[in-house]
């Protein structure tokens, strides 16, 4: 796992993605934070009636970082299977388990290093910039702790998906679908509930909201879905009955940040503890002759087919039947089930590979 040759190979494979991950993180976090401070400083000098406002775009930043890590994990496993270069790697005098763990550890070291570098940089900027007079850095401490654990969980999960898929295309698509499933599945279930509830207002009372909260606990993104950082010193106006401004006072609570409970960290931590050993176990036992297929293990193909058809049938029912027509719903279910089954059966027989080394 710590052999120099393995680390050199991981660096040779993923150096461009790692550099992009570093550069994008440094740009989106400390550089953007500094730019926001300079903008607020200039506005305070030249604009009349200027009030300090700052909003940290967490979803966009986390999306870019997650995309870089997904690409890195797909190159480490999926691309090797896709190009058939895994034969050479497994011919080296290393255990398969050590090879998998070296890929995981290489990514984790970079994730933690990037987060620490951005954390320290932003704190230095905070202390020496215009932000210091208006912000408290406490929400950012929580942000870096939460997102570091979330990014590690995401990277671990994508590596696990690579241990059961046979090419880079299936690894990337299946990883993206599985990560989005906790957010989309409640909508599919609510469509089924709507169309079977008749006129029951109690049953139709936003079932996706109820199911959505439950399914979020199965997502590694659970701790950051409610994470919010904003500082707003805009005045609060007192109005009369006609809507005219009587008086204005600065916002007494400018910190609108929201930090979820630490208990939500159990979701990504569970992902790490579950999918790291499971991924290593399956990587060791993966059949090399199945490289290029969508799913490596023949025993998993039936489960993969059944789950995929179920999701597409629910989607087709909601799309074609809506929430009012029971006949339309099941016609949509039937059509999409047949189409998805025919396509899946053909795709599962194909091998996708480039014979380059």
User: What is the model's pLDDT at position 202?
Assistant: 45
For residue 55, the SS3 value is: strand
User: pLDDT of 19-46, one tens digit each?
Assistant: 999 999 999 999 999 999 999 888 888 8
- Closest to 25 measured CA to CA, from 93, 111, 83: 111
The rounded distance, in Å, linking the Cα atoms of 340 and 324 is 24
- Compute the distance between CA of residue 4 and CA of residue 24 in angstroms, rounded to an integer: 27
Q: Pick the most confident of 3-7, 112-116, 261-265, 288-292.
A: 112-116
* Integer angstrom CA distances of residue 224 from 137, 232, 284, 330: 17, 21, 33, 37
Is the pLDDT score of 326 beyond 90?
A: no
Average pLDDT over residues 252-266: 86
pLDDT value of residue 201:
46
Q: At what angle do helices 58-73 and 168-196 cross, to 10 degrees?
A: 130
Concatenating the DSSP letter of every residue in 72-121 gives HHIIIIIHHHHTTTHHHHHHSSS-HHHHHHHHHHHHHHHHHHHHHHHHHH
78 vs 178, which has greater pLDDT?
A: 178
């Amino acid at each position: 796992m710590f052999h120099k040759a393995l680390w050199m190979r991981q660096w040779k494979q993923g150096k461009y993605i790692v550099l992009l991950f570093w550069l994008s993180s440094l740009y989106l976090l400390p550089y953007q934070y500094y730019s926001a401070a300079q903008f607020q400083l200039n506005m305070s000098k030249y604009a009349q009636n200027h009030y300090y406002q700052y909003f940290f775009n967490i979803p966009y930043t986390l999306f870019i970082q997650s995309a870089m890590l997904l690409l890195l994990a797909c190159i480490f496993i999926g691309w090797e299977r896709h190009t058939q270069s895994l034969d050479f790697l497994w011919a080296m005098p290393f255990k398969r388990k050590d090879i998998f763990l070296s890929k995981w550890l290489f990514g984790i070291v970079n994730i933690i290093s990037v987060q620490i570098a951005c954390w320290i940089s932003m704190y230095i900027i905070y202390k020496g910039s215009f932000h210091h007079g208006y912000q408290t850095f406490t929400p950012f401490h929580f942000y870096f702790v939460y997102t570091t654990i979330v990014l590690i969980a995401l990277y671990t999960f994508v590596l696990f998906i690579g241990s059961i898929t046979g090419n880079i295309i299936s690894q990337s698509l299946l990883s993206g679908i599985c990560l989005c499933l906790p957010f989309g599945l409640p909508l599919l279930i609510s469509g089924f509930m709507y169309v079977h509830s008749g006129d029951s207002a109690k049953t139709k009372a936003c079932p996706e909201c109820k199911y959505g909260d439950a399914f979020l606990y199965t997502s590694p993104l659970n701790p950051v879905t409610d994470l919010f950082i904003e500082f707003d010193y805009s005045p609060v106006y007192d109005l009369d009955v006609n809507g005219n401004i009587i008086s204005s006072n600065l916002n007494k609570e400018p910190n609108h940040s929201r930090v979820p409970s630490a208990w939500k960290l159990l979701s990504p931590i569970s992902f790490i503890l579950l999918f790291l050993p499971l991924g290593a176990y399956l990587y060791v036992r993966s059949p090399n002759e199945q490289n290029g297929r969508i799913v490596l293990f023949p025993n998993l193909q039936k489960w993969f087919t059944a789950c995929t058809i179920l999701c597409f049938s629910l989607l087709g029912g909601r799309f074609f039947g809506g929430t009012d027509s029971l006949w339309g719903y099941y016609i949509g279910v039937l059509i999409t089930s047949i189409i998805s089954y025919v396509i899946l059966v053909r795709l599962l027989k194909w091998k996708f590979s480039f014979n380059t080394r």
